Structure 1
Amino acid sequence: MNQISLSSVGWQSWLIGALVLALLWLHAAIVVPFALAVVLAYVLRPMVIRLQAWRLPQGLAIGLCLLLVALVAAVLVVLLVPIVSELVPMLRSQLPDLLAQVWTDLAPRLKAMGLQVPDSADEWRSQLTRLLQEHVPQWSGALWHSVVVGGGNVLTVMGLGILVPMLAFYVMADWASLTARARALLPQTWRTSSDELLREIDDIMGQYLRGQLLVMLILAVYYSVGLAVAGFSLALPIGVFTGLAVCIPYIGFGLGLVLALLAGVLQFAATDAGWAYPLIAVGLVYGIGQFVESFLLTPRLVGERIGLHPLGVILALMLFGQWLGFWGLLIALPCTALLTIMGRRGLQAWQGSRLYLGD
């Protein structure tokens, strides 16, 4: 394997690279659509090649792949509609009574501990009902604005939804020429090593993406069936949403868990099943699902090819989330995998250099 000698690389190349990275960092908001388009084009490229092998024109093959992505996004939106449309009214109507029941159970214990609590739940229950009726739309709108939009607005998300597929179309259409031009920009001494690096990245990222997609589909079926067996009325949308959301490590699973708990409590707490049944059911379904994902599916299907420690995964999610908001969470692990490979190659080059060996 050819390795890059640091002495063979002029300081001008490193300076130019540092300046380019600094400019990209300062204009991250502009770069994000292009970065997402490149990622989308990279993910869809094998499918485009397969469709072209079936004698479909390149433009039609790319259009069909982008249409498939649009359909998947529409399915996710459709899944969220029944969750929001059913849970919000249930939350608004049942939460005061549920909290009153909790207050009734806890009030004697709190008084026994010497704490001052209201004598009647009717007054604060009516206040809570009025508060929910007045402010739930504001709170839900603010939550959606802060979590999904990541500091922007709905028009920004809609704009990205149109701009990113359009950019991805052009990237996929000119993939060969773009990669050839990018390779031509590299110094001659870098090209052999860069080709090896890109082949390694392509192999690892391809296996990771295919394995992650299979894990998502299996978990979507599992959570839907598990919640349906438990009798949840929103089993299908919550189960499918949880399975697809596991592409965002920890956060996707946690969001699905919260939605399942909330739906279960609102559905069963007022019945003879009480509070215990939804808590136990969700705990069993999601506990088994997390165990299967962590110890069976991910090691075997994904193969842990990224090679990151769990602390590294959390750090990557926090950093990319801070830098790019919600979209940063989506690309955190693939970008971290790429940076890990490049860092490992750079370390090997440094350790094989004459400067490191003291020659």
Structure 2
Amino acid sequence: MSLPRAGRLQTALWAASGIAFLVLFWLLGPILTPFVVGAVFAYLCDPAVNWLASKRLPRPLAVLLVILAMGSAILLLFLILVPIFWREVATFVARLPELLEAVDTRLLPALNERLGTDVQLDIAALREWLSENQEQAKQLLPALLGQLREGGMALVGLATNIVLIPIVMFYLLQEWPRLIPALRSVIPRPMVESTTRIVEQIDSVLSEFLRGQLSVMLVLATYYSVALWIAGLSFALPVGIITGLLSFIPFVGFGGGLILAILAALLQGEGLTLLIGVGIVYGLGQLLESYVLTPYLVGERIGLHPLAVIFALMAFGQLFGFVGMLVALPVSAAILVGLREVRTAWFESPLYLGDAEPASRREQDTESGHDR
């Protein structure tokens, strides 16, 4: 009788600890961002550090080289994308009246004739609204600078977070070989084997998904940049890179990139040919992602369904903000492994099996009696 009570007490303690951890995570959410971002990046970079360390490079130096390489890549990406994206936005604002005029004189009449509708745009009102907001937009930068001067503490907090991320990465990557045995040593001895097995399954699911998805992102960014450039799109590089990066969120990368590419093609003003080329590029890209890259680089055996990924990102983002989006996939991997354990336990439980085994034995006994 004491054993079931001890088991129930242990379960209650674990549940209370989990709830307390979630509450603490929610309360400390605003200050956890650099630590969670650093931990995610450290998890992604650990294989590279281990590879460099296996080449007889001191681990601190290997960690430093990997962090510098990642920081340089992010900075280079930022310096490439921001000026081009800003120029595209300025071009879009300048040509918006012309685009609205083309929609009103060409697109809407054709749609009205085919669909039997009578939709029209009030071009004069739209131009008046654009001219008013254009004057306000000119004052946007001074207003933002004024807000930055007033919100100096927020700017200091952002700079602090940016500095903290590589520091957290360095210490986590440096201490990783000692951190894992230390965590294993605090696990209750009867639970070491099962806990280690579950953690290894979570690591397998998460590492295959994240590192495979990173490979998919890089391949897609390269494909869309090159293919859109061949199709003749002027903003092929930023649109292709953004499409590849957004592909981390299923369906959002394809849809968002296609909208950006269509807008860029309309701004370029080369007619229907470029739009058809953009459609072909994104159609082939979707086929490449769905039937080649995702099955071979990510693998269907992982079990993280695209809809589950979207729901996890939205749910954790709603509950815990930006930090929640960062931990959504690790928690989803843990939940997936937990559900697999529950499923296995259910199929092996007496409640599921019922009297199936005795019934089969009775059938065998009946058949043996008939034979006699």
Interval containing the TM-score (normalised by the shorter chain): 0.7 to 0.9
In the alignment, which of 303, 306, 323 is matched to residue 302 of structure 2?
306
Alpha carbons 1:230, 1:281 under 8 Å: kept: yes
Shift of 1:338: 2.8
Query: SS in structure 1 opposite 2:248?
Result: coil
The SS at the match of 1:174 is helix
Equivalent-residue separation in structure 2 for 1:7 and 1:243 (angstroms): 49
- How big is each residue's C-alpha offset from its partner over 1:91-111, in whole Å with a ceiling of 9 and x where there is no partner? 121101111222234379879
Q: How far does the alpha carbon of each residue in 1:127-148 deviate from its partner, in whole angstroms, 9 at most, with x for none?
A: 4234234237759x99xxxxxx
Structure 2 distance, partners of 1:239, 1:55, is 38
TM-score normalized by the length of structure 1: 0.80
- Distance in structure 1 (CA, Å) of the matches to 2:252 and 2:111: 35
- Tell me if structure 2 keeps the 8 A contact 1:41–1:172: yes
Instruction: Sort the Cα spacing of 1:113 and 1:179 in 2 relative to 1 into closer, same or farther, 3 A.
Output: closer
Q: How far 1:295 moved relative to its partner?
A: 2.0
Is the contact between residue 316 and residue 328 of structure 2 (CA under 8 Å) also seen in structure 1? yes
Q: Is the 8 A contact 1:6 1:355 kept in 2?
A: no
Give yes or no for the alignment of 1:62 onto 2:63: yes
1:178-327 correspondence runs (5 A)? 178-268=179-269, 273-274=270-271, 276-326=272-322
Unaligned runs of 5+ in 1: 143-151
CA deviations over 1:144-198 (Å, ceiling 9, x no partner): xxxxxxxx96655443322122112111112233223322332222111111112
Deviates more, 1:127-136 or 1:289-298: 127-136
The answer for the alignment partner of 1:167 in structure 2 is 168
Q: Which residue in the other structure is 1:145 paired with?
A: none
Partner deviation per Cα, 1:265-304 (whole Å, 9 max, x = no partner): 1012xxxx32x33432222211211121012210121103
Superposition deviation, residue 61 in structure 1 = 0.7
Q: Is the 8 A contact 1:238 1:259 kept in 2?
A: yes
Larger fraction in helix? 2
Task: Tell me the alpha carbon deviations over residues 68-106 of structure 1, each in whole angstroms, 9 at most, x when there is no partner.
Answer: 111221132123224323212211211011112222343
Give 3-state SS (helix, strand or coil) of 2:300's partner: coil
2:104·2:121 contact (CA, 8 Å) conserved in 1?
no
| Change beyond 3 A, Cα 1:32–1:89 | closer
Who is 2:104 aligned against? Answer: 103
Which range moved further: 167-176 or 320-329?
320-329
State the distance in 2 between where 1:323 and 1:131 align: 35
Structure index of larger Rg: 2
Between the aligned partners of 2:121 and 2:236, the Cα distance in structure 1 is 38
The question of whether the paired residues in 2 share the 8 Å contact of 1:7 and 1:354 is answered with no
* Distance across 2 between alignment mates of 1:158 and 1:255: 29
Equivalent AA in structure 2 for residue 129 of structure 1: S
Query: CA RMSD for the aligned pairs?
Result: 3.5
